[in-house]
A and B are shown apart, each in its own frame.
Chain A
Amino acid sequence: MIERIVITGMGVISAAGLNVPETLDAFAAGRRNVGAVPSGVSPLDFPVFAVRDLPAQTESSPSSRTFLLACHALDEALTGAKLGRDLSALRVGVCMGTTVASQLNDMGFYTAFRQGGDVPMEPVEHFLKSNLADAIAREVRAAGPCVTVVNACSSSADAVGVAADWIRAGLCDLAIAGGADELNRIPICGFGSLSVFSKELCRPYDRDRQGLNLGEGAGLLILESEASARRRGVATSVFVAGYGAACDAHHLTAPRPDGSGLETALRTSLAEAGIQPQDVAFVNAHGTATRDNDKVEGSVLARVFGPDIKVLSTKGFTGHTLGAAGALEAAFSVMALLSGWIPASPGFVNRDDEIPIGVVRERTTVTGRYAVSTSLAFGGNNAALVLGRDG
Chain B
Amino acid sequence: MNIAGIGVVGTTGRGVASLEAALNRGWTAPGLVDIRGSAGERLPVYAVPPEVLSDKTVLAKARRADRFTRMSVLAAWDALQDSGLAASVDRTRLGVIVATALGPHATTFGFLDGILDFGDAAVSPTAFSHSVHNAAASYIAMTLDVRGPTLTLTHFDFAFHEAVSLARTWLAANRCDAVLVGAVDELGSVMQFVCGRMLRPAADGRIKPFDFSVKPESVPGEGSVFFMLTRDNAGAAYGRLGAVSRDHSAVRSTGQSVQLLDACGLAKNETAYRTALMPGTLTAGYAPLFGSVMTGSAFHAAIAALMLKRQYRYAVPVAENPHGLDLCLETGAAVVDQVFCTRLDCAGRRGTLHLSAVR
Contact = CB atoms under 8 A, between A and B. Distances in A.
A147 B132 contact: no
16 contacts: A110-B116, A116-B37, A146-B155, A188-B120, A190-B111, A195-B125, A245-B149, A245-B175, A246-B149, A249-B91, A249-B142, A253-B125, A260-B147, A378-B135, A379-B135, A381-B151
Interface of A: 42-44, 99, 102-105, 107, 110-111, 113-114, 116-117, 119, 121, 124-125, 128, 131, 133-134, 143, 145-152, 158, 162, 165-166, 168-169, 171, 185-186, 188-195, 245-253, 260-261, 264, 268, 377-381
Contact of B132 (A119, A128, A185, A378): A378
Contact of A151 (B146, B148, B151): B151
Nearest to B193: A113
Interface of B: 36-37, 91-92, 96, 102-103, 105, 108-109, 111-116, 120-125, 128-135, 137-139, 141-142, 144-156, 158, 162, 165-166, 168-170, 172-173, 175, 190, 193-194, 197-198, 246
B153 A44 contact: no
Contact of A194 (B36, B102, B125, B146): B125
Nearest to A265: B149
A383 B255 CA distance: 44
Nearest to A134: B155
B121 A104 contact: no
Most chain A CB within a 10 A radius of its CB, from B125, B137, B154, B169: B154
Given A147-B153, A193-B123, A114 B133 contact: no
Contacts of A380: 138, 141-142, 150
B173 A131 contact: no
Given A147-B162, A193-B125, A185 B172 contact: no
A169 B246 CA distance: 16
B137 A169 contact: no
A252 B138 contact: yes
Nearest to B112: A110
A190 B125 contact: yes
Secondary structure of the B contact surface, majority rule: helix
A110 B147 CA distance: 37
Contacts of B36: 113
B133 A102 contact: yes
A150 B137 CA distance: 11
B359 to A, nearest CB: 26
Contacts of A188: 120
Given A103-B105, A124-B198, A252-B135, A145 B162 contact: yes
Contacts of A193: 122-125, 128
Nearest to B104: A103
Contact of A247 (B108, B150, B197): B150
Contact of B134 (A146, A150, A245): A150
A107 B173 CA distance: 42
A185 B123 CA distance: 12
A196 to B, nearest CB: 10
A114 B110 CA distance: 11
A171 B162 CA distance: 11
A185 B120 contact: yes
A247 B96 contact: yes
Given A113-B37, A249-B146, A377 B120 contact: no
A152 B120 contact: no
B177 to A, nearest CB: 14
Q: 8 tightest CB-CB pairs across the interface, nearest first? A: A190-B128, A379-B138, A150-B133, A245-B149, A193-B125, A249-B141, A247-B150, A379-B134
Given A148-B153, A247-B147, A111 B130 contact: no
A270 to B, nearest CB: 14
